[in-house]
Amino acid sequence: GNSFNKMTMQGTCPSPDEMASFWMSPYVVAMISIFAFPTVFWLTMYLIPQVFMCIRPIPNLKERYDAKWALVTGAGSGIGKALAFKLATQGLNVVLVSLDDEYLKATIKELKESYPDLEFRCIGVTFSPGVNYLQQIEEATKDIEIKIIFNNAGFIVTGFLDQTPLGKLLANIECNATASVNITHWALQKMVKNKWKGCIVFTSSVAGFIPTPFAAMYASTKAFVSQMACSLHIEVQNLGIDVCAVHPSPVASNFYDKVDHKIELMEAAQKAAVPPEDLPNEIFRSIGACALRDMGGMAWSTRMGTFFLPFNFFTELFTAAAPYLPDYKKHNQTRL
């Protein structure tokens, strides 16, 4: 070590033996170990449950909870529709809650034709401020026991916050977050009171754990439901009620079709989107095994990539880069 320091101070190059001696010295090894341990520990603790859930047998929710009925919001198309079909394959009757549109009617028709021995109930509602959708759900389900809840409904509003009508932002919060609170509170009270075992699953997003400019409300609501899932997981797990949130990678659905402002980064991500039918098996594997589940390459890489950077630093990187992004420059023209 001393000879290495002397030679460095003299401006001469240390020999290979001296270099090896330096790097193998107890001090250097200890310092490397101290800095490496948190990374190795985090990766291990993250990857073990992820790998386990990839190979875990798909649980039969009907048998697991002795259930007859499940409820899915946003069930007219996309992930919600795929979940409804998966539940039906396990012999569960399904309540489909969604916008009262052609998608919902078509999905109900398909389910009834595919599973004539099961029962399907259709509740066409809008999760908007001032709409008493919970009363409609309560009325339509008052004669059945629902032990399985999928809070899946959601939509995205794009564009700068100051350029978006307040009513649209509040509607986004109501659909993505507040409706989940209302339905979860209603369902949990019944489960706890009657000592039912069951599950409550939230469809969250990768956007919930990274800064998401041009979709601030969407990202905020997804962060909200992920945090709520973790907190409820702790509160009710010992009662036999499984709660989790899933973060899918991009999914090929009509989710992004009607946005006001197209975002190039999202459009690029959509090129790697998977069909919604690929998700239910992985979502089911998450139930009873975790509080949060990252699903797919984008979710995994984003989670592991952001782990190494403090969130505030990561946000400042986005801030520095934002003025050079095509989406920012395009929508910022009206603010100049």
218 given a catalytic annotation:
yes
Q: How many domains does the chain have?
A: 1
Q: Does residue 226 belong to any structural domain of this protein?
A: yes
pLDDT digits (tens, 9 = 90+) for 203-217: 999 999 999 888 999
Active-site residue (options: 65, 103, 133, 218): 218
pLDDT of residue 171: 97
Residue-wise burial string across 21-57, b where 16 or more C-beta atoms lie within 10 A, e elsewhere: ebeeeeeeeeeeeeeeeeeeeeeeeeeebbeebeebe
d(CA 155, CA 158): 10
DSSP state for residue 145 in the 8-state scheme: -
> How many C-beta neighbours within 10 Å does residue 256 have?
19
**Structure token pair of residue 115:** 């599973």
Averaged pLDDT, 109-115: 98
- Mean pLDDT is lowest, of 70-79, 259-268, 276-285, for 259-268
3-state DSSP assignment of residue 274: strand
Q: How confident is the model at residue 305 (pLDDT cuts 50, 70, 90)?
A: confident
Q: Does residue 33 belong to any structural domain of this protein?
A: no
Q: Does residue 24 belong to any structural domain of this protein?
A: no
> How many C-beta neighbours within 10 Å does residue 10 have?
7
Averaged pLDDT, 87-94: 99
Q: Does residue 234 belong to any structural domain of this protein?
A: yes
pLDDT of residue 335: 76
- Partners of residue 124 on adjacent β-strands: 98
Q: Does residue 316 belong to any structural domain of this protein?
A: yes
| Residue 98 near residue 120 (C-beta atoms within 8 A) | no
d(CA 146, CA 56): 25
Averaged pLDDT, 7-21: 59
Which residue type occupies 256?
Answer: Y
User: Sheet harboring 93-98: ordered strands across?
Assistant: 120-124, 93-98, 69-73, 146-151, 198-203, 241-248, 292-295
Q: Is 41 left (phi over 0), alpha (psi -120 to 50) or beta?
A: alpha
Q: Does residue 16 belong to any structural domain of this protein?
A: no
pLDDT digits (tens, 9 = 90+) for 18-43: 566 655 677 666 777 777 788 888 88
pLDDT of residue 97: 98
Residue 108 maps to which CATH number? 3.40.50.720
- Mean pLDDT is lowest, of 90-94, 144-148, 289-293, 321-325, for 321-325
pLDDT of residue 13: 66
pLDDT digits (tens, 9 = 90+) for 123-143: 999 999 999 999 999 999 999
pLDDT of residue 294: 95
Q: How confident is the model at residue 253 (pLDDT cuts 50, 70, 90)?
A: confident
Q: How many residues in the chain?
A: 336
d(CA 45, CA 21): 33
User: Could you list the residue range(s) of the whole structural domain that residue 94 is in?
Assistant: 62-335
pLDDT of residue 9: 47
Q: Does residue 6 belong to any structural domain of this protein?
A: no
Q: Does residue 160 belong to any structural domain of this protein?
A: yes
